[in-house]
Amino acid sequence: MNLKQQAAQKALTFVQSGMTLGLGSGSTTAYFVDMLGESIQQGRLTHIKGVPTSTATAEQARAIGIPLIPLSKHPNLDLAVDGADEVDPHFNLIKGLGRALLREKIVEIHAQRFVIIIDESKLVTTLGQRGPLPLELVKFEYEVQIDWLNTLGCRAELWLEDDGTPAITDNGNYLVRCWFGNAIPDAYVLADTLARRPGIVEHGLFLDMADTVIVAGSDQVSVLEHPKGAK
């Protein structure tokens, strides 16, 4: 069992029968969704409902028998489980390299408890150390957004597929990746700046959202709880 699977398996222990769950997107969460579906099929968990954060997660969940509902039918989620691209010591996150950051954020702000599952390589001292920050933006005049982003002390590039075409989200928008060198100087200031910019739909800074971080390492799986506790 690899580290991602170990983290996903630990997250499953937080699930109880009768819960409504936010189901994240990406490779690590895919293991969790598979394990959840297996538990439902074998009768270990009953009366589970899921709210998916991407078309891919919805398709996976349906294929293994996880009942799905829209968020509007149950906006108070018991639990949301998702991966992250970076996690800092304050439980702030960079997410979105799985291309679903907008839908993930929409769903996960409704969770009473937001659980992140990662391997130890995703731990950083400051956000932006490990990789780019993804953004979702509208197609209209997207070039001016990229030019503006490059004035913020980062290198911003349109996210392209292998064939050179722009990557498209489930919402029909473009994605941009922004590299900040060694780190993002102030994630809160950056988040506020990006939120004020027309045309940028959402950013991958998930600040003050995570309650629990499950870290799979070479020696053990650790469960880190935010000092403020679950919401």
Domain residue spans of the chain: 3-124+207-225, 133-204
- The pTM score is 0.95
d(CA 36, CA 222): 20
C-alpha distances in Å from residue 103, one per residue of 108, 148, 208, 211: 8, 24, 17, 19
d(CA 187, CA 160): 25
* Residue tagged active-site, from 104, 108, 136, 202: 104
Q: What is the mean pLDDT of the chain?
A: 96
How open is the CA angle 85-108-74, to the nearest 5 degrees?
155
Average pLDDT over residues 72-85: 97
Overall fold of domain 3-124+207-225: Rossmann fold (3.40.50)
Overall fold of domain 133-204: Alpha-Beta Plaits (3.30.70)
* 141: annotated active-site residue: no
Q: pLDDT of 141-189, one tens digit each?
A: 999 999 999 999 999 999 999 999 999 999 999 999 999 998 999 999 9
